[in-house]
Structure 1
Amino acid sequence: MPDAAAPPLAAAPGRAEPAPRCHDVLGIGFGPANLSLAIAFEEEGHELDARFLEARPGPSWQSAMMLDGSDIQNHPVRDLVSLRNPRSRYSFINYLFENGRLLEHLNVPLEFPLRKDYARYVSWAATHFSSQVDYGTHVTGVAVERDAEDRRVYAVTTSTGQVHRGRSLVIGTGRAPYVPEPFDAVDSPRVFHLTRYLPALERLAELDVAHDGDRTPLSVVVIGGSQSAVELTLDLARRFPRATVTMLVRSLTLRLKDTSPFSEEGYFPGFTDYYYRAPRERKDAIDSYMRLTNYSSADGDVLRELYRLIYEQRLDGDQRVFVSGSRQVRSLDVREDGVHLAVEELNTGEREEHRADFVVLATGFRDLGPAAHQERVPALMREVADGFAFDEHGYLSVGQDYEVRPVESDTPALFLNGLCESSHGIGDAGSFSLLSLRAKIIADGLRKRLS
C-alpha cells in the first residue's frame, strides 16, 4: 500500500509541468476556405503546425440547404485546388474519379454540378485532414497573451473551457447571416434564416402549424429576391403542394443574374487586385455594377422553372405560388395561429396584411464595414479588435495578402479567409470562385510572417 503521506506525482520535486502547446497556425472554422488553406499548406510544402477548430460535429458544407435538384453557381473546376494546382489529388475531378462516378457525372445534362455532389466532394476532401481538426469545438473567445518566451500569441477559448494557443490566427468562419428589421427583434421558430432551413423545417414538423391539425403548413412567406429565395420557393412548393407560398421582394420583381463573360471577369484574380487598389468611393461604384453577378438576382433556369410553375397553376385555376415585388415588411407579430406581417407596397404606399405559418429569410449575409447592415469586425475578433487598424471610412484595414494590419508591430499575425469582400471585391464573396488562389496567398503570407 502506498504511503498516504507521500505527495502526488504531479507535485514531486523536480518534475516540471509540460508547457502548453503553441501551434504555428490556429484556424477557426473548417469550411471550404480553411480546408483549401490546409491543402495549400500540404501541397506548397509549408511545414507549419496548423490546428483547426470547427463548431460542426463533422465535415459538411451548406447542410441546411441541400435541396433536391439545386446546383452550384460556379464552374466545377473552380474547386478547392484546381486554379492553384490543376494536378492536385484534391480536385473535384479526382473526387469523381476515385468514387467511380467520373463518366456518369460527365453524362449528366447539367451546366453545373448538383449541390449535393459538391457537398460530398467537400466532405471527402476534409476527411484527409481529420487529424488536424477538432470538430464539435465552439470557440467562445479570442485573446492575445504572452507565452513562456515573452512572445505575444493568440489564446482561443472554447465552450468547454479549453484553451488553444497559436503564433498566428486565421478566421475562416464564413459571414454572419443578415437579418434585417423588423425580423431582428423576433425570436421564434416560425421565423428563420435560410442557413437554418432544413433543421428549422424539422423543428416545425414537431409543432402544429396548420389550421386543420395535420401539421402541414398552409401558408409560407419567403423574404428576398436572390437565387436562394427562388430555390427555397420552388422547394417549398414541391414539399408542401397544398400551401400558398408568397415571395416578398423589395425590388420591382425578380431579376436575372448578370452572367455576361465580361462581368464574370470580376471573379479573376487580376480584378481582385484592381478592386483592392481603388479608393473607397470607386469601390462603392464597382459594387453597384457587380452586384447582379451574385446578389439580388437568380439564374435563368430557376426563374424559368418558377414562372412555368406559376403559369401552369393559373392555367389550372389554382395559383398557390406568388411573387410580390416592391414589397417591404414594416412590422410583424408572432401569434399562436402564425406570423402576421404588415407589408407596404413601395410604389403606391398601399398597406397589405399577410399571415404565414412560418417565414423564411433569404436576406443574405453581412460583409465587413461600418454600415448598419455590415459588421465592424468578424464576431470572434471583437475582443481583440482594438489591436488592429481601421481606415478613415471605418473599414478594417486588411492587406492585399489578407492579413489584418495591427496597431503594434509585435501583435501576432491575423488573417481573414473568405471575409474580405469589402476590401477585395466580389471575387472574395462566399463562393469557390477564387478560393484556391486566396489560400495560396494566405499560406505564403503565413510562412513569411512565421519564418
Structure 2
Amino acid sequence: MFDVVCVGFGPANIALAVALDEIWPAARVKFVEREPAPCWQPAMMLDGADIQNNPVRDLVTPRNPRSRYTFVNYLHEQGRLFKHLNLPAHHPLRKEFARYIQWVAETVPADIDYGQDVTAIRLAEGGVEVRTADGTVYPGRSVVVAPGRSPYVPDVFGGLEFPRAVHTSRFLPGIADLDRDWAGTLAVVGASQSSIEVMLDLSTRFPSARVVNVMSGYGYRLKDTSPFSEEVYFPEFVDYYYAASEEGKQRLRDQLRPTNYSSADRDVIDALYMRMYEDELDERNRMTMLGNRLITAARPGESGVVLDLTERITGAREQLAADRVILATGYRDLGTKGRTEQLPPLLREVADVLQVDPQTGLKVGIDYRVENSAAGAGAPPIYINGLCESTHGLGDAGSFSLLALRSKAIVDSLRQRLAAPATV
C-alpha cells in the first residue's frame, strides 16, 4: 500500500512531487496520469503566447528558491539563461514554460504511471483504492486529486459535437484538419485573454478565412494588473480570504474578478486592435467583432453551425453562420452557483464521507484536505490540489502563483496525518 496516491501529473502534482522529494523523500507515493507523457496545455501552444505571470512564481521557487527545479536553473541547464534575460518581454513564452514543466516532470525522481485513465476513487480497508480504465487498482492510505478544472461549455452549445464546437482546451486538434488556404468562417465566443490569442492565431494561420468574435460585453477589457490588486496572489491573501464569511468572499470575488477573468493583457489587446485596423486599411474584411450579443441558440447548419444572436442593447436579432465555433468560455470551479460543479467528478463515489454544504459546496480545509462528514469519521485523508478558488481565493484559479506553497501545505499535512496508523 502506498502512503499517497496522486491522481494527475500536471503542474499542481508535479510541484507536489518536487515538494515530496525535498521535504518527505521517504514517503511511498504513486502518481497516476491519463496522458502518455508529461505535457501542459498542448492544445494552446500558440506562437507568441506567454504565461501572463512572473516566471519566478514557478513550481518551486516561492517554497525553496535554492531548489534544482526552479525555472532559472532550468534555463541555466539548457544554456539559455542569458538569452532569456535579454528577451524584450515581461513574461516567458508559453512554449518555453511548457518545456520547463516537462523537464521537471522528467527529472524529479517520482514514481509515475502514464497512460492510466482514473475512473474511480473508492474507500477500502485501511485507506482508498484508485481504479483505472484497464482494471489496475492502486491502494493508498491517502489520495491527492489534481484533475484540473472541467471546461465550461454553455448549455446553448450542448447539442453541437466536436469539431463543430471546440473548447479552447482542444483548440489545436479542433482545427488540425484545415489547411492554410481554407476560406471558411470561424466564430470565436468569449472576451478573455484566450479569446484574443485564438483570434490572433486564426487570422495568421488561415489568412483567407473570416473570423468573427462574439461576446456578451461591449468589447475587451484590460486586465487589472495593479500591484495592489495583484496581492491577491500572496499567501497572506489566502489566509484572509479563507477566514472571510461567505458574503465577504463573494464581495472579494466581485472586486477582484478583473485580475483574472473576462479581461486581457494590454499587449494582446493592442496587437488585435492593430491587426483589425490594418485589415480595414487594406480593405480586407477578415475579422469582425460582435459585442453585446446574447447567443440564444446554436444548432447544426448545412456545413457547420448557425448561431441565433440578440443585441443586448437594441434587441435586434440576427443569425451568424459559421463552419466552426471556438469556445473561449473558461472553466468550472468548485461550488454550487454559476459556472461551478459541486465536487470533482472523480470524488463522486466517496461523496458520502465528504462534507458538502448545499449552499457553498465542498468543505475544504486550509491545508486543502476535504473535511469529512459525520458519516466519514475515520475516513482516509483526501486532498484537492487546485480547484479551490471558492475556498482559498484567486491563487487557486489555475494560476502558478501559489503552486509551490500549496504543495508544501499538502505535504506538511500529509506527514502529520499519516504519522499515526491508518484507520478503517
Query: What's the TM-score bracket when you normalise by the shorter of the two chains?
Result: over 0.9
* Residue of structure 1 in register with 2:315 after alignment: 349
Q: How do 1:77-226 and structure 2 match up within 5 A?
A: 77-129=56-108, 131-146=110-125, 151=126, 153-202=127-176, 204-205=177-178, 216-226=182-192
Query: How many residues end up aligned between the 2 structures?
Result: 417
Structure 2 regions of 5+ residues with no counterpart? Answer: 420-424
Three-state SS of the structure 2 residue aligned to 1:343 is: strand
Query: Per-residue deviation at 1:409?
Result: 2.3
Name the structure 2 match of 1:209: none
- Residue identity over aligned pairs, in percent, reads 49
Paired residue type of 1:34: N
Counterpart code for 1:441: A
SS at match of 2:17: helix
In structure 1, distance between residues paired with 2:188 and 2:329: 9
Bigger mean CA deviation after superposition, 313-322 or 58-67: 313-322
- Give 1:86's aligned amino acid: P
CA radius of gyration, larger in? 1
Match runs of 1:6-405 below 5 Å: 22-129=1-108, 131-146=110-125, 151=126, 153-202=127-176, 204-205=177-178, 216-391=182-357, 393-405=359-371
Q: Is the 8 A contact 2:24 2:411 kept in 1?
A: no
Unaligned runs of 5+ in 1: 1-21, 207-213
Which region of structure 1 is more displaced relative to structure 2, 393-402 or 230-239?
Answer: 393-402
Find the aligned partners of 2:364 and 2:332 in 1 and give their Cα distance.
17
Q: Retained in 1: the 8 A contact 2:156–2:295? A: yes
Contact 1:254 1:325 in 2 (8 A): no
Whether the aligned pair in 2 keeps the contact of 1:61 and 1:122 (CA below 8 Å) is: yes
Shift of 1:130: 6.3
In structure 1, give the amino acid aligned to 2:9. F
Give the Cα–Cα distance (whole angstroms) in 1 for the partners of residues 383 and 159 of structure 2: 32
Cα RMSD after superposing both structures: 1.3
CA distance in 1: counterparts of 2:119 and 2:56, whole angstroms: 36
How far does residue 261 in structure 1 lie from its aligned partner after superposition? 0.3
- CA shift, 1:131, in A, is 4.9
Task: Tell me, yes or no, if the aligned pair for 1:140 and 1:157 is still in contact at 8 Å.
Answer: yes
Distance 2:146 2:203 in 1: 34
Query: 1: CA distance between counterparts of 2:7 and 2:73?
Result: 27
Q: Contact (CA 8 Å) 2:195, 2:328: kept in 1 or not?
A: yes
Q: What is the distance in 2 between the residues matched to 1:346 and 1:218?
A: 27
Q: For residue 393 of structure 1, report the CA deviation from its aligned partner.
A: 1.8
Q: Distance in 1 between matches of 2:183 and 2:35?
A: 29
1:428 CA drift (Å): 1.0
Partner of 1:23, secondary structure, is coil
Q: 4+ residue runs of structure 1 moved beyond 6 angstroms? A: none
Which segment is superposed worse, 370-379 or 59-68?
A: 370-379
AA of the residue aligned to 1:415: Y
**Pairing partner for 2:390 from 398, 415, 422:** 422
* Amino acid corresponding to residue 136 of structure 2 in structure 1: Q
Tell me if structure 1 keeps the 8 A contact 2:145–2:384: yes
